[in-house]
Structure 1
Amino acid sequence: MQQAGSGHSTAGTPTGGRDIRVAVDIGGTFTDFEIFDPATGAVHQHKAPSTPADPSIGLLDGLRQAAARFGFSLADVRQVLHGTTIATNAVLERKLPRGAVLTTAGFEDLLQIGRHGRRDIYALTATPPPPLVPRNLCLGVVQRLRADGSVATPLEEASVLAAAHRLREAGVQAVAVCLLHAYANPAHERRIGEMLAEALPGVAVSLSSEISPELREYERLSTTVLNALLVPIVAGYMAKLERRLAQAEFGARIYLVQSNGGVSGTAKAGREPARLLLSGPSGGAAAARRLAGSLGLPNLVAIDMGGTSFDVSVVHGGQVAMVTEGEIDGLPVRLPMVEMRTIGAGGGSIAWVDPGGRLRIGPHSAGADPGPACYGRGGTGLTVTDANLLLGRLDGETFLGGAMRLDREAAARAAQDIAGRIGLEADATAAGVIAITNASLAGAIRLSLFEKGLDPEDFCLLSFGGAGGVHACEVAEELGISRVVFPPHASTLSAWGILWSDIAHDLAATQILPLTAAGPALAQAAARLRQDAAALLAEDGVAEAQRALEWSADCRYAGQAFELAVPLAQAEFSDAGLGSIAEGFHALHRQRFAHDDRGVPVQIVALRLTARGRLPKPERDAVEAQAGTARTQRLVLVEGAWVPAAICGRGAVGAALHGPAVIEEAYTSTWIPPGWKVSTDPSGALMAERSA
């Protein structure tokens, strides 16, 4: 089956002597870098424009800039941990290759039927996302497995060859194979995979028993289809990246960031690119979890606002929630991932007027090319960044540390165009853009908390991303949150979180049995998962001493249609071990739903293993000291009036700075509105609080 790139975890043999470790987060507008130099213990940040047509160009250009700026060579780089939105964007924009589905005969309509749950109960009509594969390319093959994996109808290989002939004529580039109950017995899928590899050379083939060996047919099929369609996309990108790195004589080991917050080598990422769908944002969640511990703030709402999107993750009790099933653009993805909510709201989000004359923001974005009108690259639409510039919250002379000057006149022209259509002055229009944006951001946060039964007043807001600082305090005020944390390296914090990542591989074995009778089956499944984990970690070059295994079990009460993941201290399935699992499930059910029922039998649904490979990383959260520029003043528009605001660098904030104020850094600005004050924490973070 086709894999991305060369299929190797390295792009050559490292020759440098400084063991530089680089984390990269490629966003829609900017590419962020965090660089750890073990020789000095310093962690540096860098930011460069993204190149959407070929993200590998922006990555390599930014890496060269960082090397020149911080005094190292590309040969000194030993590891690159790479977060990317290439898979996410391909799905959101539907820029996917022509694909097909092979499934059990009689179930060819499964992708079109989907699930009938109504997400919007007030909508007059349901509008499910269109299937990624048309019905005429969903073909059945003669075979049938029972739920226990036994064979009801043997595989008829002639039907596979007939389907392969039709797919060859259709010119498909990817095939998803998802048979009924293949999680219980993968033999038929594996044979079909072998036959398709021979009959359709060069076509990407994904097997559900490999990418998502779990029950729930539609979700497993959706995940397999996404994976198959993404293989050519990621393969093309990895080939370009490896070719450019080879030309630059760059020999570092490359790791791709996954949706679970860990990383994997390029071979695994090439086989299973669906695991990259939250690649970049998961780094921000990892950073939030680390900061929750170091700052002593166990409850944080982490908001990452960049140029294109706004991501919300919740740290509750010091932990970020993980889910075994997420979604991308309404399409289910049955893979472990960080729980996160994303909306299309960023600095590049474009203002527009709907047919009813209402001012709207996004979700379409100006991106990196042409970018907001003030970038002077041909953009004409009014964006959130343009509005912040017009209100005085951004300085056009110091943007990106002075590397990019912003054109205020171009922003004013864009605002005037919208203002003329809604009957307001340009200044009032810019203020309206910010007010609507803040309301959208607050709404996304409310949903993330309320659906868990959590109160915003019990949380601090952790603001990061290049655009987050100019919105965070006002969003917090709307939510009733009284404290906002602005960490060091806020603009590149997702990359900073990636910098601390370890290798993580998620494996699962479905076992639907009464828990009391599941001991022998679970022991066999655990042995198989250990073997698979060892092979994956060996593929990534992880030494035995650097490996760790984390177990959990999906359990439910008999008759329930959902499961809870119960953490296991060890994979021990004696009667005492099974009893411990049951007690853990009862306690978790009581915590989540305020009740448990020990009179109902507990079922095991799946055994899960996360195999971790520890990577070298910084020993402490060292970051560069921030320059303390002298305080000045600038007029800022506040509630319709231009008022003087204090302007300074992060290093000049000191014990207390009262709003209105703007704190300017190389890659971000922070707006402290009236009624708020900010001070510097010993960690280097800025702590903003509402005044009494």
Structure 2
Amino acid sequence: MSITPFIRIGIDIGGTFTDLQILDERDGALRSLKTPTTPEDPSIGLLAGLREAADRHGFALSDIRLLLHGTTIATNAVLERRLARGVLLTTAGFEDVLEIGRHSRRDIYGLKPAHEAPLIPRDRRLGVPERIRADGGVERAPEPAAIAALIDRLAALEAEAVAVCLLNAHVNPAHEQLLARALRQARPDLPVCLSSEISPEIREYERSSTTVLNTLLMPVVGAYLQRLTGRLAEAGIGARLLLVQSNSGVCGAETAALQPARLLLSGPSGGALATLRMAEALARPNLLGVDMGGTSYDVCVVRDGAVTRMTQGEIDHLPVRLPMIEIRTIGSGGGSLASVDEAGRLKVGPRSAGSRPGPACYGRGGTEPAVTDANLALGRLDPRFFLGGAMPLDAAASARAVAEHVGAPLGLETPAAAAGILAVTDTNLAAAARLSLFEKGLDPRDFSLLSFGGAGGLHAIPVAEELGIPEVIFPADASTFSAFGILHSDIVHDVARSRVMPAAPESLPRIGDFLDALRQQGAALLDADGVAPADRRLAVAADLRYRGQAFELVTPWEEPAAEPAALERLLAAFHAAHRQRFSYSNPEAPVELVALRLSATGLLARAEARRAPGRGAERAPEARRVWLGDGWREVPVHQRERLTGRIAGPALIEEEYTTIYLGPGWDCAPGPEATLIARRAGTEAAR
């Protein structure tokens, strides 16, 4: 007799560790696991984590029903330029759009500003003799002979993938589709991406950049997914595999292989989703979520119970015109390396030790001091209980690395040098969080700080002090909290129609046609995912701007309909949003509609979850020597599993995969949803 699989797992593969949240849907038991990432092939570490979870928690690999997978595979491929050799087919005369860009200068004072080379060089950007007019009419159709000649050149150019981005293809994709049919017939082995499929919107440069990025990632992500699915099958895992997208929803492996650019913020978006869920559960609509892992520090803002979603972001200065959660990321994590430059300045990050060799204390050959080494050298980490005791640390190696690379160059004793590393780190972290709030006109004092990630607990209190935030919340299983967000994801598809038209009654017939087309497209995508009608949610938004503006505001359309009253409500929402964002609005000015967007959500089945006790409850309270800036002091060490009442800092709170540093002048007590809530003495909770 076969037994229905009952294990649901959320996976977040980071640069240093792979985090798992395991939900047993029979009794709702929720457990966490952390295992080192294998950079050479992340699927190896993923399978190792699944096997360890099965052994530790007593289930078979065949019991896994659902795998929800967040990954940095696409992000790292772009950052490291490990991309396929691509060719761009574009309208003749527009081959240099990708290189011309927007002529924006990031370093306005630089005499010789750096200019990044395009991802596809000039000799592999080929012009197609064709033209679609702005109204969608055909000015010139591509000739069969010209198409055949282009296909012949692909072999000589050793193309591994082809991007097709023709002028005005977002209005009429006929010519792109014609090229795709010819390419796939002649070269069925060659990945082809059309701009009208990945980013059917105005602005040629952004559409070209997005299409090229997606194209060059297709072989990379496709090969990874092929390896992963093969390993899953060999291990007897028949679970449904869903990949986390930048919009915080998930999609099937087939969609991810065809549109890998949607995975560029895959891991961090899980943390944003978890932050949003915690804001709802704790009734704290203003929450600043900060995720400090081994490699990076990610900041997301929940304001008035909602996260900010963007229609365009960028990675490594490359624009990506796709919906994504707004997240600020800096290269500062537990593995970030400290060094002293030629001017005698102490720097921390963005270089990272990663998981191999890792910080010096890992004992894997690393010799440079990382943030983790500084924390260990100051007594804030227990070398016997790192990763729940699964990975003992070498405290002597940390002290040597700090002394040699920071202490000696600066003439400081080891404790002072390690404290300097943490001071620089905390300042960098606070600056990233401050910018995420200030750029929106928000006051940090109105927010609570939600700290998660394996290294976050050691830095949350100093960061909150720099920001003036009075309350810090530490969720249960903080080290794997992004995987918790991933575990509770839903299927989400974002589709758009881009046309510039007056947001006025005369445009209602066209608006109605676009709404109908978007709803049909969304329904077809959810049909392909097997989502039942009762589990579907459709949300519409409009990109609006005052006529003459060069930017738009994405405005949710609560009751979309091609009716004057519905349009009036949309315009009122736009004026209000413009006033909030820019401190003014002009209801008398004409408004343009630039795009309509639909988010089609397929709700995945939910199971009640309760956190199972972690390892550490059996450890007795103790004290440890910790450097507090003015000397060594005996500081009490509490086990989170045993904590039942309020404690005052300075203190350390340990759990299986992370440690919390509670500074002087702060106290901490258990809160709802298995959280710990720390407050500065004499302050009330933020709202």
Question: Which of these residues, 68, 71, 82, is aligned with residue 84 of structure 1?
Answer: 71
Structure-1 residue corresponding to 2:502: 514
Instruction: Provide Cα deviations, 1:128-152, integer angstroms capped at 9, x if missing partner.
Output: 4332111111111111111111112
Question: Which of these residues, 308, 324, 331, is aligned with residue 344 of structure 1?
Answer: 331
Answer with 191-200 or 381-390: which moved more: 191-200
Question: Which of these residues, 499, 513, 516, is aligned with residue 487 of structure 2?
Answer: 499
Q: What displacement does 1:530 show? A: 2.0
Residues 222-621 of structure 1: matches in 2 within 5 Å?
Answer: 222-418=209-405, 419-516=407-504, 517-619=506-608
Answer with 349-358 or 203-212: which moved more: 349-358
Contact 1:141 1:156 in 2 (8 A): no
Give the letter aligned to residue 368 of structure 1: S
CA distance in 2 between partners of 1:166 and 1:360 (Å): 48
Give the letter aligned to residue 9 of structure 2: V
Instruction: Provide Cα deviations, 1:606-637, integer angstroms capped at 9, x if missing partner.
Output: 11000111101233x52124554432110101
Query: Given the alignment of the two structures, is residue 135 of structure 1 paired with residue 122 of structure 2, yes or no?
Result: yes
Contact 2:282 2:672 in 1 (8 A): no
CA distance in 2 between partners of 1:577 and 1:444 (Å): 39
Contact 2:540 2:599 in 1 (8 A): yes
Kindly, what percent of the aligned residue pairs are identical? Answer: 55
Instruction: Provide Cα deviations, 1:3-36, integer angstroms capped at 9, x if missing partner.
Output: xxxxxxxxxxx96424211110011111111111
Query: Given the alignment of the two structures, is residue 686 of structure 1 paired with residue 673 of structure 2, yes or no?
Result: no
CA distance in 2 between partners of 1:320 and 1:548 (Å): 18
Contact 2:641 2:655 in 1 (8 A): no
Residues 113-262 of structure 1: matches in 2 within 5 Å?
Answer: 113-262=100-249
CA distance in 1 between partners of 2:6 and 2:523 (Å): 26
Instruction: Provide Cα deviations, 1:181-214, integer angstroms capped at 9, x if missing partner.
Output: 1100000111111122233332221111000000
Give the letter aligned to residue 524 of structure 1: D
Q: What displacement does 1:290 show? A: 0.5
Residues 617 and 122 of structure 1: CA distance in aligned 2, closer, same or farther (over 3 Å): farther
Instruction: Provide Cα deviations, 1:545-580, integer angstroms capped at 9, x if missing partner.
Output: 211111111111111111111212233112222222
- Segments of 5+ residues of structure 1 without an aligned counterpart are 1-13
Q: Would you say how many aligned residue pairs link Structure 1 and Structure 2?
A: 678
CA distance in 2 between partners of 1:15 and 1:457 (Å): 55
The CA RMSD over aligned residues, in Å, is 1.5
Residues 227 and 15 of structure 1: CA distance in aligned 2, closer, same or farther (over 3 Å): farther
| SS at structure 1 position matched to 2:569 | helix
Query: Given the alignment of the two structures, is residue 623 of structure 1 paired with residue 619 of structure 2, yes or no?
Result: no
Contact 1:292 1:300 in 2 (8 A): yes
Give the letter aligned to residue 672 of structure 2: P
CA distance in 2 between partners of 1:253 and 1:363 (Å): 36
Give the letter aligned to residue 631 of structure 1: P
| SS at structure 1 position matched to 2:560 | coil
| SS at structure 2 position matched to 1:129 | coil
Structure-1 residue corresponding to 2:685: none
Answer with 197-206 or 436-445: which moved more: 197-206
Structure-2 residue corresponding to 1:8: none
Answer with 590-599 or 321-330: which moved more: 590-599
Answer with 581-590 or 346-355: which moved more: 581-590
Residues 30-41 of structure 1: matches in 2 within 5 Å?
Answer: 30-41=17-28
Structure-2 residue corresponding to 1:75: 62
Q: What displacement does 1:644 show? A: 1.1
Give the letter aligned to residue 631 of structure 2: A
Contact 1:500 1:618 in 2 (8 A): no
Q: What displacement does 1:422 show? A: 2.4
| SS at structure 2 position matched to 1:683 | helix
- Segments of 5+ residues of structure 2 without an aligned counterpart are 683-687
| SS at structure 1 position matched to 2:593 | strand
Residues 628-643 of structure 1: matches in 2 within 5 Å?
Answer: 628=617, 629-643=619-633
| SS at structure 2 position matched to 1:261 | coil
Instruction: Provide Cα deviations, 1:282-305, integer angstroms capped at 9, x if missing partner.
Output: 000000001001111111111001
